[in-house]
Chain A
Amino acid sequence: MAQSPWGKRPSGNGGGMRPPSGGGGGQPQMDLDALLRKAHERMRGAMGPDGGASEKRIAGMILAALAVLWLISGVYRVNPDELGVVLRFGEYQRTEGPGLNYHFPYPVESVMIPSVTTVNKVEIGGGGAVENPTIRRASAEMSYLPQNHESLMLTSDRNIVDIGFEVQWKIDGTNPQDFLFNVRDPAGSVKAVAESAMREVIGRNKLEDVLTTAQSQIAEDTKAIMQRIFDQYKAGIEVIAVNLSKPDVPDPVLGEFQDVKRAEQDKETAESVAEGYRNDIIPRAKGEAVQMVQAAEAYKNRVVAEAQGDVARFNKIYEQYVNAKDVTRKRMYLETMEAVMKGMPKVIIDESAKGTGVVPVLPLPAVSQPKASE
């Protein structure tokens, strides 16, 4: 580094015009000003040999007023959301907080007042691919890229996903000078870095995950990568958030993709219809089963009860029968016959009268007919 004695900032002794350094920077400038003013006054006096003292005084007052105005021009205001970064002869000097501040007037010091709370937004994809004009290109031929769609990205399973997102960032308030001095076009960098980071993250994920569950993870990963890059650049940029709009498949395959969604629905529908069928027939079958068993129980109880009834009745009769066997038997027989024969068509054939030639021909159908012929 070739550096002449002049180049050293706090130069040893460069005469009366050495650049101001440190806190007492204003002093030489004032001296210079006073010197100039004095010189001017002398010249005035020289030009008008008979000029009055009042003329001199007016000129002096004008110069003094100009000097005051010049000094006042160093007053500047920093709003609560801003910081004042003061440069002295182009070199970073100090950072001032909000309020009314003063810097030595031009050309000694100047101030840059970046807003450190404003949240800036960069949108990528989602509505018209806008190329960032601030990124320098070597006569870029963009025809290679598919329709210049910045939102179309390749996934790890080599599908193309359409993902738009927004990056929110702000200037890192603790080091505003990083933002101002370290990177050319930091705002443009945000977009380029965001796209690169997002493509890297999408490239690690499968299409299905990108479309379903992995979205918050993707946003988080992208944010982390971006922040790491900006920290590496010392760009003074703080990434606040990466917001994904809903990722989708590209337009050319949208129809088929939606059909997949429908098919998924169809599957669920078919399943639930079948479940409905099952829920319909199983309870019915169970009911029927219970009914059958109950009927059987009823039958069992009935036949047992009937048997018991029969037995009870038989036993009663038998008790009597034992006492008078023949009589009871006879009576039972006659009672039964009486009951059975009563009202029954009867044909009585005397077999002893065979010789009379009565042939017992029974017109069987006729016998059973009378009811039908009515």
Chain B
Amino acid sequence: MEKILIKIGAALAVMGVLLYSSVFIVVQTQQALVLQFGEIVREIKEPGLKFKLPFVQNVIFFDNRLLDFRAQPAEFISKNRETDVEERVVIDAFVRYRITDPVLFYQAVRTEANLASRLNSIVVSNMRKTLANHSLSDLLSKDRAAIMEQIRLQVNRQATRGDMEDRAEGSVGVETTQRRGQGFGIEILDLRIVRADLPADISQATYERMRKNFTKEAQKFRAEGEERALEIRSKADREKVEILAKAQKESETIRGEGDGEAAGITASAFGRDPSFYDFYRSMQAYRNTLAKEDTTVVMSPDKGFLKQLNQ
């Protein structure tokens, strides 16, 4: 009886160990490959509790999520369409990819670190190709999204199908297990250019240009200010002269009218007896002009006023 119990216990312990080494969990964010003596026997893409043969099989896990990869900033030559001069541009980009085929991924690169260097050269070479036809100005425009998509498609084609057209530039010393027409078992879901910048030395030149532009702009503003001021002042001066001239004209006219009217009035009245008017006006004029002290009269008593003296 007791021996049976011991046997049962031992059997349970063995079962426990077997269970432990034959059960594994694939988390929601993972996918896995089951390897038997190093050979892939099973691909697991669904999460959950999984089983394998104990001891002879082992499991390697891959991420099932969208993974990030940031390409190394690289310098490109692109032609500036406006000036028709080739210029250097520094671009860095990031890639979002997913491991869609763990088997292929494992065969081609095994780890993300290996993928990174391979992917970097693919991204760089495709950017180089695309930017040969586009300028920095295109990147600084609404076309940027389309250019990024174009590069993404190319990178995706190479990464999934392995069309390594420019292998010489592409793989740098990494062992090439990737065969033509195979790829890395990944899908590039997004490729976005982060910076499309000018290299540091050109940036200095840019600053210099900006400085000059700002200086010019400031000068322009000041000159415009002067211009406006002069315009306003001279218009005002002109307006003033015109106003005064007009007033002058008007007042002279009015004066003339007055004089004319006065002349008309007097002429009509005095015309009745011109000889008397002559006399009358002379008398008035004498009174007004011959002042008392400053006139000395030399008179003859023979005629005129003093004629009565000669009686």
Pair A346/B140 contact, Cβ less than 8 Å: no
Q: Is the CB–CB distance between B228 and A274 below 8 Å?
A: yes
* CB of A326, distance to nearest CB on chain B (Å): 12
Chain B positions within 8 Å of A158 at CB level: 136-137, 140, 198, 206
- Measured between alpha carbons, how far is A160 from B214 in the docked complex, in Å? 13
Q: A260-B218, A277-B233 are in contact. Are A360 and B272 (CB under 8 A)?
A: no
Q: Does A147 contact B (CB under 8 A)?
A: yes
Give chain B interface residues in 244-285, CB to chain A under 8 Å: 244, 246-248, 250-255, 257-259, 261-263, 265-266, 268-270, 272-273, 276-277, 279-280, 283
- In the complex, whether B153 has a CB less than 8 A from a CB of chain A is no
A293 contacts the other chain (CB 8 A): yes
A348 surroundings in chain B (CB, below 8 A): 298-301, 306, 309
- Return the chain A residue nearest B262 by Cβ: A307
Report the Cα distance A349→B306, complex, angstroms: 11
In the assembled complex, which residues on chain B have CB atoms less than 8 Å from the CB atom of A55?
none
Give the complex CA separation of A294 and B261 in angstroms.
18
Give the residues in chain B near A135, CB-CB below 8 Å: 68, 70, 94
Q: Determine whether the beta carbon of A293 is less than 8 Å from that of B270.
A: no
User: Is chain A's interface secondary structure helix, strand, loop, or mixed overall?
Assistant: helix
Q: Is A235 an interface residue (CB 8 A)?
A: yes
A274 to chain B, nearest CB (A): 4
Among B20-28, B125-133, B158-166, B177-185, the stretch in contact with A: B20-28
- 8 Å CB contact of A203 from B69, B140, B253: B140
Chain B residues with CB below 8 A from A249, complex form: 210, 214
A362 to B221, CA, bound (A): 80
Q: Is A271 an interface residue (CB 8 A)?
A: yes
Q: Return B58 CB to nearest CB of chain A, in Å.
A: 15
Q: Which residues of A contact B9 (CB under 8 A)?
A: 39, 42-43
Contact for B232 among A137, A138, A256, A275, CB less than 8 A:
A275
Does chain A have a CB within 8 A of B195? Answer: yes
Q: Are A204 and B299 in contact (CB under 8 A)?
A: no
Residue of B nearest to A6 (CB): B51
A7 to B215, CA, bound (A): 73
Task: Output the least CB separation between A201 and chain B (Å).
Answer: 9
Interface centre among B116, B230, B254 (most CB of A within 10 A): B254
Complex: A135 Cα to B73 Cα, angstroms: 14
Residue of A nearest to B253 (CB): A296
Q: How far is the CA of A349 from the CA of B64 in the complex (A)?
A: 148
Q: Which of A97-105, A240-248, A337-345 contacts B (4 or more CB under 8 A)?
A: A337-345
Q: Does B71 contact A (CB under 8 A)?
A: yes
B270 / chain A contacts, CB cutoff of 8 Å:
311, 314
Across the interface, name the chain B residue whose C-beta is closest to A49.
B2
Question: How many Å lie between the Cα of A180 and that of B63 in the bound state?
Answer: 13
Closest A residue to B148 by beta carbon equals: A200
| C-alpha gap A158/B213 in the complex (Å) | 12
Query: CA of A202 to CA of B187 in the docked complex: distance in angstroms?
Result: 29
Q: Known contacts being A7-B50, A293-B251, A311-B269, is A195 close to B194, with CB within 8 Å?
A: yes
Q: How far is the CA of A135 from the CA of B253 in the complex (A)?
A: 91
Q: Report Cα–Cα, A349/B296, bound state, in Å.
A: 13
Q: What residues of B have a CB within 8 angstroms of the CB of A39 in the complex?
A: 8-9, 12
Chain A residues, CB < 8 A from B17: none
Interface assignment of A79: CB less than 8 Å from any CB of chain B: no
Q: Beyond A260-B217, A267-B222, is A333–B283 a contact (Cβ under 8 Å)? A: yes
Whether A293 touches B254, Cβ cut-off 8 Å, given contacts A87-B27, A204-B141, is yes
Report if A347 contacts B (CB, 8 A): yes
Taking A137-B72, A145-B197, A281-B236 as contacts, is the C-beta distance between A91 and B47 under 8 angstroms?
yes
| Cross-chain contact of A263 among B195, B198, B217, B306 (Cβ < 8 A) | B217
Chain A: CB-nearest residue to B272: A318
Does A160 lie within 8 Å of B210, measured CB to CB?
yes
Q: Is the CB of A302 within 8 A of B297?
A: no
Question: Which residues from chain A contact B73 at a C-beta distance below 8 Å?
Answer: 140-142, 144-145
With A9-B48, A155-B140, A267-B228 already in contact, the answer to whether A137 and B70 are too (CB < 8 A) is yes
Bound together, the chains give a CA A314 to CA B220 distance in angstroms of 75
> Given A339-B287, A346-B298, 18 other A-B contacts at CB below 8 A?
A4-B42, A39-B12, A43-B5, A89-B47, A90-B28, A90-B30, A91-B47, A92-B47, A146-B199, A196-B194, A278-B235, A293-B247, A308-B265, A332-B279, A333-B279, A342-B292, A344-B293, A345-B295
* 13 contacting pairs across A/B (C-beta < 8 A): A1-B45, A3-B44, A17-B19, A43-B9, A135-B68, A289-B247, A290-B247, A293-B251, A296-B250, A300-B259, A311-B266, A317-B280, A343-B293
A residues neighboring B (CB under 8 Å)? 1-4, 6-7, 9, 14, 17, 19, 36, 39, 42-43, 45-46, 49, 87-92, 107, 135-142, 144-147, 152, 154-156, 158-160, 177, 180-185, 188-189, 192-193, 195-196, 199-200, 203-204, 229, 232-233, 235, 249-250, 252-253, 256-257, 259-260, 262-264, 266-271, 273-275, 277-278, 281-282, 284-286, 288-290, 292-293, 295-297, 299-304, 306-308, 310-311, 314-315, 317-318, 321, 329, 332-334, 336-337, 339-352, 360, 362, 367-368, 371
